[in-house]
Amino acid sequence: MAGSEKLELDGALERLDAMLARLEKAVIHPNPAENELRSLRVAHEAMREKVSHALADLDGLLEEFGEHG
């Protein structure tokens, strides 16, 4: 193997090793923003549910008020 080919192969192996290290880090230590986004989605869904129930209650009150008003 010629010297330049060996250097090329060594460079490719170093890049591959660096990529694997980044991949391993991403799997072991996920991005904190992902967790925050997941929490925000859960909170958003809970808020939508509460608002939906509140609007249903208001609709019921308006119907009742209309019948007695």
Segment 7-55, tens digit of pLDDT = 888 899 999 999 999 998 888 877 788 889 999 999 999 999 999 999 9
How many distinct structural domains can be found in the chain?
2
pTM of the model: 0.50
- Same domain, yes or no: 42 and 65: yes
Q: What is the DSSP letter of 30?
A: -
Whether 19 and 41 map to the same domain: the answer is no
Say yes or no: 6 and 38 in one domain: no
In a shared domain, residues 21 and 36: no
| C-alpha dihedral, 52 to 57 to 62 to 67, nearest 10° | 140
Domain shared by 37 and 22, yes or no: no
Q: Note down the domain range covering 3.
A: 1-30
Which residues have C-beta within 8 Å of that of residue 1, sequence separation ≥ 6?
9
